């Protein structure tokens, strides 16, 4: 969110730029609040369904809000299921490891500084400067294994 706010210096040209920015921010905030409340990943269309009563009825509104949230790492996109989940970490630095349960769909997020360090070293050797890293691991959670 801070990154988007910094960029909005450009929006100073528009006469009603402030209002538009506030409205966009609140869409993103509502999407984030929903994802935080449900805890499990949701697709853009499920989010749209959930927020329809809230006055959000265009898929592009949801996609734009999700783009902003993913860019600031408030939300992570799960590539293999094309769903979105709220970040559980205080500040999301280093690689995220998303453990996706094939049984119940629950997602947990872990991070490891050591792993981030190792990955960084690995990629520097390949002359590559990594910006973000999200690692998805599929498997079964403890509850599903017990059931
Ligand atoms: Zn995260
Ligand atoms: Zn499970």
Identify the structural domains of the chain with CATH numbers, from first to last. 3-86 (1.10.10.10), 96-146 (3.30.1490.190)
Ligand 1 centroid, distance to 59 Cα (angstroms):
24
* Phi/psi at 24 (5° precision): -65, -45
d(CA 126, CA 44): 35
Ion ligand 2 residues within 5 Å by Cβ: 101, 103-104, 106, 141, 144
Instruction: Please say if the pLDDT value at position 46 is more than 70.
Output: yes
Question: Which ligand is nearest to the Cα of residue 35, counting in written order?
Answer: 1
The pLDDT value given to residue 141:
95
pLDDT score of 41: 92
pTM: 0.72
pLDDT at 22: 53
Q: Which ligand is nearest to the CA of 92?
A: 1
CA dihedral 16, 19, 25, 26 (to 10 degrees): -150
The torsion angles phi and psi of 40, rounded to 5 degrees, stand at -105, 155
Antiparallel, parallel or unpaired: β 83-86 and 75-78: antiparallel
State in Å: Cα 136 to ligand 2 middle.
15
Residue with tokens 């609140």: 26
């Amino acid at each position: 969110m801070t990154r988007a706010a910094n960029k909005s210096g450009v929006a100073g040209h528009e006469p009603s730029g402030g209002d538009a920015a506030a409205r966009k921010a609140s869409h993103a905030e509502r999407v984030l609040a929903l994802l935080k409340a449900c805890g499990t990943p949701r697709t853009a269309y499920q989010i749209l369904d959930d927020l329809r009563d809230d006055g959000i009825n265009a898929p592009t509104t949801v996609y734009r809000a999700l783009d902003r949230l993913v860019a600031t790492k408030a939300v992570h996109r799960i590539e293999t299921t094309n769903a979105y989940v709220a970040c559980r970490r205080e500040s999301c630095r280093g690689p995220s490891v998303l453990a996706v349960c094939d049984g119940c769909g629950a997602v947990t997020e872990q991070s490891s500084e050591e792993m981030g360090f190792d990955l960084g070293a690995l990629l520097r050797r390949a002359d590559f400067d990594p910006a973000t890293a999200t690692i998805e691991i599929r498997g079964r959670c403890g509850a599903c294994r017990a059931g």
